Amino acid sequence: MDLFTLVNIIILLALLGVLFYMQKKHVSFSKRVLTGLGLGIILGVVLQLIYEPASETIIMTNDWFGLVGSGYVKLLQMIVMPLVFISIVAAFTRLEKSSNIGKISGLVIGTLMVTTAIAAAIGIAAAAGFDLKAIDVAAGDAEMTRGEELETSLTEVQSTTIPQKILEFLPANPFLDLTGARATSTIAVVIFAAFVGVAYLGIKRKSPEQAAFFQKMIESLHSLVMRIVTLVLRLTPYGILALMAKTVAGSDFQAIATLGKFVIASYAALIAMFLVHLLILTIMGLSPKQYVKKIMPVLVFAFTSRTSAGTLPLNVEAQRNKLGVPESIANFSASFGITIGQNGCAGIYPAMLAVMIAPTQGINPLSPSFIATLIVVVMISSFGVAGVGGGATFASLIVLSTMNLPVALAGVLISIEPLIDMGRTALNVSGSMVSGLVTSRTLGELDTKTYRSDEAAADSMAR
């Protein structure tokens, strides 16, 4: 470790100390999260001005910063599968009417599908409005290599038939899926938990005493898991500071400037879709201002970490404690939102790429038939997209190959992928929370008092 790296680490520790001092002074959780974001950006910009992004000092510094940032993400990922499983089972043990599960699942998935279709339409409009074309983007060695990797990945995707893809959702080995070993592990765990829940309902009718014992056991495990969630969430401001500093310090701003038109178009589409989320809530009679204020810490973390799956614990907590969504619905919407109907990764991004690449094959991307087909393909392909970095690439491979478009041209965007992925992930998480709100509002189960209340009460959890 050189002297400059040591100085950078000391500065990070000092800034972490500032956040710790704010926590001791009982500054609200949201303010500490935003402070961590701001301090991380400032530190990253300063490091950018002093060092080159690819310098040895930055590489070593980011490696140490990763102890805090990436370490925090790993702790969140640690509790994702236990949280999904125990929360879904607990939803069954607390059910008054078993028929509600079908309604909840249908409304959540339906909302995710509809919003993904809207996101695809917005992506098409953004690509056309900014006149984005793949042939206008220069490809260097890194882009060419990335294109070759995508073609290799496409071969693996195309070799899997639709029935085989559906079978991947089923938990052949639930213990393997509880480790998160597969891209579809989250959905598989949800399915396994649902089987356990249905079995519980059957036992409840035939052997109430055994069912009561199982319910108490699940309640105890649920309390334990939620306590672990609370302990991890308290580290959020520190993790965000380190993650943002690492991201900004290591970003190639020259490449970003070169592809600035695509970056601007992408964020214009992401912001437009977020406004659609707010419009949906307005139509449902809910205040968009309250929504933005209460979910901002969750979106900030999703933005900096680039992982929808890692954001799941924050997602569930925000829906339950801040938005007034019942626990059963929050668990379903957050869990399904990880791999189904991601508005950013599976909606906007593949649609934009298809519109950009279509002219290279002599296809008019604005023809009604092309647009309609693309939106349908995007909706269908949004099932099973992994809630981690790279999920958008997987979705794009499916969409482009289905539309008979070359996938290698998507590699020209590799240099700005991280920057765009930050916004996409935040939109994904917002989409899952909107599906929870729409579902609970439709079923008349939303706690509107909690939704309209000040955030201060909910903040006490993370102090």
Q: Which of 72-76, 170-174, 250-254 has the lowest mean pLDDT?
A: 250-254
More confidently predicted of 335 and 434:
434
Q: In angstroms, what CA-CA distances link 214 with 154, 198, 218?
A: 45, 13, 6
| Averaged pLDDT, 78-97 | 81
Under a CB-based contact definition with an 8 Å cutoff, are residues 33 and 242 in contact? no
pLDDT digits (tens, 9 = 90+) for 309-324: 788 888 988 999 999 9
Report the percent of the chain where pLDDT is more than 90.
37
pLDDT of residue 80: 82
CA 446 – CA 453 distance, rounded (Å): 13
pLDDT digits (tens, 9 = 90+) for 45-72: 999 889 887 788 989 999 999 899 889 8
pLDDT of residue 417: 74
For the chain, give the mean pLDDT. 84
CA 46 – CA 52 distance, rounded (Å): 11
pLDDT of residue 455: 53
Under a CB-based contact definition with an 8 Å cutoff, are residues 326 and 92 in contact? no
Asked whether the predicted pLDDT for residue 302 surpasses 60, the reply is yes
Asked whether the predicted pLDDT for residue 88 surpasses 80, the reply is yes
Asked whether the predicted pLDDT for residue 234 surpasses 70, the reply is yes
More confidently predicted of 279 and 363:
279
| Averaged pLDDT, 415-444 | 90
| Averaged pLDDT, 227-256 | 84
Question: Highest mean pLDDT: which of 240-244, 288-292, 334-338?
Answer: 288-292
Asked whether the predicted pLDDT for residue 156 surpasses 80, the reply is no
Q: Give one DSSP letter per residue of 154-191, joined into a string.
A: HHHHHTS-HHHHHHTTS-SSHHHHTTT-STTHHHHHHH
Q: Looking up tokens 């954001």, which residue turns up? A: 311
The CATH number given to whatever domain includes residue 318 is 1.10.3860.10
pLDDT of residue 456: 45
Helix axes 56-93, 3-24, angle to 10 degrees: 40
Asked whether the predicted pLDDT for residue 265 surpasses 60, the reply is yes
Q: In angstroms, what CA-CA distances link 28 with 20, 25, 32, 234, 346?
A: 12, 9, 6, 11, 34
Q: Give the residue among 301, 339, 290, 270 at the shortest CA–CA distance from 437.
A: 290
| Averaged pLDDT, 406-417 | 66
CA 439 – CA 459 distance, rounded (Å): 25
pLDDT of residue 233: 83
Which amino acid belongs to residue 21?
Y
CA 404 – CA 354 distance, rounded (Å): 10
**Cross-strand bridge partners of residue 383:** 340
pLDDT of residue 148: 54
Asked whether the predicted pLDDT for residue 140 surpasses 60, the reply is no
Asked whether the predicted pLDDT for residue 113 surpasses 50, the reply is yes
More confidently predicted of 150 and 424:
424
Asked whether the predicted pLDDT for residue 364 surpasses 50, the reply is yes
Asked whether the predicted pLDDT for residue 270 surpasses 90, the reply is yes
**What domain range is 438 assigned to?**
3-462
More confidently predicted of 387 and 40:
40
pLDDT of residue 457: 44
In the chain, the number of structural domains is 1
pLDDT of residue 146: 53
Question: Highest mean pLDDT: which of 82-86, 268-272, 359-363?
Answer: 268-272
pLDDT of residue 460: 46
| Averaged pLDDT, 266-275 | 96
Asked whether the predicted pLDDT for residue 172 surpasses 60, the reply is yes
Give SS3 for 340.
Answer: strand
Q: In angstroms, what CA-CA distances link 154 with 45, 144, 399?
A: 37, 15, 11
The neighbour count for residue 434, using CB atoms within 10 Å, is 27
Q: Looking up tokens 């765990």, which residue turns up? A: 189
pLDDT of residue 136: 57
pLDDT of residue 152: 58
Question: Highest mean pLDDT: which of 130-139, 175-184, 332-341, 423-432?
Answer: 423-432
Residue 345 — pLDDT band, cuts 50, 70, 90? confident
pLDDT of residue 461: 46
| Averaged pLDDT, 392-405 | 79
